[in-house]
Amino acid sequence: MPTELLYLIGAGGHAKVVLDALLPSAAPAYDIRVRDGAPQLQGQKLLGYLIEVPAIAAEMAGRRFHLAIGNGQARRRLFAELLDMKALPLSIVHAASSVSRFARIGEGSFVAAQSVVAAAASLGRSVIINHGAVVDHDCTVGDFSHIAPNAALSGGVTIGTGVLVGAGAKILPGLSVGDGAVIGAGAVVTANVNAGETWVGVPARNTARS
């Protein structure tokens, strides 16, 4: 069976999670290449795969890639650069996750083991839904956002672009979180969050007002 090249961009902790999700189910379909710009990582191995220098534009044209990088700003920048190189984003969904057939998974997104993406939920581009996180029905998660382990978005929640929802945080039904906002670990959000704000605590409060 012929294989297709897949470039896994990033070789840190999140990349281990992504590569583990790919194996062994995707291994027969893809020739996986791990690339990272950090000189101290190059030449080492990530779960048995050699970490190489980043690919050049001519190498990436028409090739599949996945950004296995936790930082949303870095994902946004590299995603645009790779699209300019005519590379093709690949979404990765762990076999042990639960994703509704009525959900939408955006290009280049990652859904980790034990997470749930429910009916009529929609993920943007290069979104991370981490271990055990819940994106309930009718939620929208914007491009380059990260829903951390065991966080829960109740039904109808809207998450903007580049948002970080910390581990174990909970957002109550129908609320919205603006672009670039940060929700602290364990927070319980009971009101709408504006763009760029950081909310922490139970119930969560805007840190700029505390």
Q: Tokens 């055990």 — which residue? A: 132
Segment 36-77, tens digit of pLDDT: 999 999 999 999 999 999 888 888 999 999 999 999 999 999
pTM of the shown model: 0.95
- Domains located in the chain, CATH noted: 4-90 (3.40.50.20), 91-201 (2.160.10.10)
Those residues with Cβ within 8 angstroms of residue 32's Cβ, 6 or more apart along the chain or in another chain: 6, 8, 19, 22, 26, 49
Q: In the structure, what pLDDT confidence band is assigned to residue 16 with cuts at 50, 70 and 90?
A: very high
Average pLDDT estimate for 172-184: 98
Percentage of the chain exceeding pLDDT 90:
89
Q: What residue spans of the chain are helical by DSSP H?
A: 13-22, 57-60, 72-84
